[in-house]
A and B are shown apart, each in its own frame.
Chain A
Amino acid sequence: MDAIIGRLATSLFGRPIAPCYSSGRMASTSHVRILRASDHPNPVRLVAEGLTDIWSRRRLARYLVEADLAKHGANTVLGNVWWFLDPLLQMIVYVVLVSIIFARPTPDYPLFIFAAILPWKWFSSTVTDAVTAVTTRERIIKQVAFPKLVLPVAATASGVVSFCFGLVPLLGLMIAFYPDRLSPFLVLIPVVAAVQFLLTLSVAIVLSAVNVFFRDIGNVARHALRLAFYLSPALYSIDHLASKPTLQQLMWLNPFTTLFESYRNLIYDGTWPHWDALVVLSVVAGACLLAAIALFKWLEPSFAKVL
């Protein structure tokens, strides 16, 4: 795989990507590192460097994820049970809120919102963790040269694990209470999740880098996430807005409209997801990811000075 990346780089730039600055390799005795004042950064090169960074340090990412998961619920009585309990309790809160207080008549409402809460929890907790992913590693960033891009990537990857744990209570809920809603479409969940992963990773990378310079990001993100949740069709369906066609159109600009509706197609309705919207979203999210990597790599050299 390294060889493939090397060849790819050679064909893209006419020369191999030397680990020029941040990816010094210990084990090699024959390796020269030249550091000089940076010239104007080339976005394509930044992206290529970023992808090499992630691939060459996948083991570091794995260790960081493992350390993160080991800590989850480490000092609690119930420990690992919280993996399953957390999303269930959150669902119950919304069920109580919406079905009792607002008395909105949607059949099988718990399943209806569970299909949206699960992916939302994944997104919001990943974003919250990723904001501080770089800044909490301040000490080692100042003392060891390593690709910092690994940090938001690891934060996002541990979010994937908790999302997968959340699928277990979802299945349990369906088998126990809504067996008639079980459908083969459930196996398509990873496809929608992959699109969401691209989007989550781009947001995580951008915020982790910007937070180094503006520590206010954490506070802003908390409220922005809450607002985004209510603006997305999580507790309601986009069909409920049929009386306001303009608003409904605008809602489709929100990536989570596509995601939530698609998850709900698979889990709640048992139909095909919105393929057209999903394809558009995955292209946009992919482009965002490349831009995010370029931005991160561009800011990365300043981290050690600013932190």
Chain B
Amino acid sequence: MNASSGEPSRPATRAAGGSVDAPPSSARADLPAIEVRRLGVRYNLRLTRRRTVRETFWNAFRRSNGPTHFWALRDVSFDVPHGETLAVIGPNGAGKSTLLQVLAGILRPNEGEVEVRGSVSSLLTLGAGFDQDLSGYDNILLAGAFLGIEHADMERRLPGIIEFADLGQFIDAPLRTYSAGMRARLGFAIATAVEPDVLIIDEVLATGDAAFREKSKARIVELMHAARAIVIVTHDMSWVREFCTRAMLLEAGRVVALGDPDEVATLHEARSAERQAQREAELRRQLGAVI
């Protein structure tokens, strides 16, 4: 498999311009779309924390000042075969978004290995690359260029994106005149129009009005049927149960459970309820102490 992947994808890229809609080549269909092996991602707290110059100087003198590293993810392993939809769930700060950033190629692992077969599109937050002063039309082209889509390919997809976003005359107006819903629609239309092999979605399903929500739901189901792999981060357990083929529960950067979406969602709900109860008991105790 590596023999074929070692060859540059450049000649293939040209040829693929016209045949992107074709299903993934049969040679790869049996290999999982995503393989993650003992993934670890570490944040360097010295660099990440916004500090004043004075703090920087202090820290230079007192070197051992608190932890220097923080593992956002550690020892995470899983596969996503083609045609599967994996839900990643967990409490805030569990490392869900970090995981998606690694899959999208934005963050580099500090440990382990991640293999992604096929093109990736990430809808981490819709409309991230938008330029307020450009028109919707120009923003589509700009977003395509950021995503690295070949220009000819992008031109072919333009009518479809414009139709799906359903912005009417606003497509030629600068983006700052758009409502939040319109912006989300445009972002969703771009990210799903490229028909990626692997789609990465972070909490974007609740955007737009009810009609668009239905439309976007239908679009994602459509992508799932087209044998694409999807990784989705969501807090909506009904989505997990209804649309996902597997679910993974992350807590504090580690995999707690991986398997049947219904079971994992139930486990997550139970653990959340337990944490909530603990927090309330703690709060009550503190309140009691004050009174």
Which among B16, B43, B121, B148 has the greatest number of chain A C-beta atoms within 10 A? B148
Would A2 and B16 count as touching, CB distance under 8 A? no
C-alpha gap A71/B108 in the complex (Å): 34
C-alpha gap A137/B129 in the complex (Å): 8
Contact with A along B143-168 (1 / 0, CB 8 A): 00111111101000000000000000
Would A144 and B43 count as touching, CB distance under 8 A? no
C-alpha gap A211/B78 in the complex (Å): 37
Tell me if A254 is interfacial: C-beta within 8 Å of chain B.
Answer: no
Would A35 and B114 count as touching, CB distance under 8 A? yes
C-alpha gap A17/B202 in the complex (Å): 31
| Interface members, chain A 27-77 (any B CB < 8 Å) | 27-38, 56-57, 59-60, 63-64, 67, 70-71, 74
Tell me if A142 is interfacial: C-beta within 8 Å of chain B.
Answer: yes
User: For residue A140, which residue of chain B has the nearest CB?
Assistant: B129
C-alpha gap A102/B106 in the complex (Å): 56
Would A30 and B16 count as touching, CB distance under 8 A? yes
Question: What is the CB-to-nearest-CB distance from A79 to chain B, in angstroms, rounded to a whole number?
Answer: 14
* Number of interface residues, chain B, beta carbon within 8 A: 65
Tell me if A3 is interfacial: C-beta within 8 Å of chain B.
Answer: yes
Would B128 and A305 count as touching, CB distance under 8 A? no
Would B102 and A28 count as touching, CB distance under 8 A? no
User: For residue A17, which residue of chain B has the nearest CB?
Assistant: B8
| Interface members, chain B 107-125 (any A CB < 8 Å) | 107-122, 124-125
Would B151 and A29 count as touching, CB distance under 8 A? no
Would B48 and A67 count as touching, CB distance under 8 A? no
C-alpha gap A67/B113 in the complex (Å): 38
Tell me if A22 is interfacial: C-beta within 8 Å of chain B.
Answer: yes
Tell me if B180 is interfacial: C-beta within 8 Å of chain A.
Answer: no
- Knowing A16-B7, A37-B112, A306-B47 are in contact, say whether A25-B119 is a contact too (CB < 8 A): yes
Would B104 and A63 count as touching, CB distance under 8 A? no
Would A146 and B146 count as touching, CB distance under 8 A? yes
C-alpha gap A306/B44 in the complex (Å): 9
Would B8 and A143 count as touching, CB distance under 8 A? no
The 8 Å CB contact of B145, one of A2, A6, A57, is A57
Would A32 and B149 count as touching, CB distance under 8 A? no
Would A145 and B12 count as touching, CB distance under 8 A? no
C-alpha gap A71/B175 in the complex (Å): 13
Would B109 and A36 count as touching, CB distance under 8 A? yes
Tell me if A237 is interfacial: C-beta within 8 Å of chain B.
Answer: no
The 8 Å CB contact of A28, one of B9, B116, B142, is B9
C-alpha gap A113/B44 in the complex (Å): 49
Question: What is the CB-to-nearest-CB distance from B91 to chain A, in angstroms, rounded to a whole number?
Answer: 21
Q: Which 10 A-B pairs have the closest CB atoms?
A: A145-B105, A60-B145, A140-B129, A32-B5, A143-B128, A143-B124, A16-B8, A31-B9, A26-B149, A35-B114
- 29 residue pairs bridging A and B, Cβ less than 8 Å apart: A18-B9, A26-B153, A27-B119, A29-B22, A30-B118, A31-B119, A32-B117, A35-B105, A35-B108, A36-B113, A57-B145, A59-B151, A60-B142, A63-B138, A67-B131, A70-B133, A70-B134, A71-B133, A137-B129, A142-B101, A143-B122, A144-B104, A144-B129, A145-B120, A146-B147, A213-B47, A301-B107, A305-B44, A305-B48
- Other CB < 8 Å A-B pairs besides A27-B149, A29-B118, 10 of them? A21-B108, A24-B148, A30-B25, A31-B12, A33-B105, A35-B116, A37-B111, A59-B151, A60-B148, A142-B128
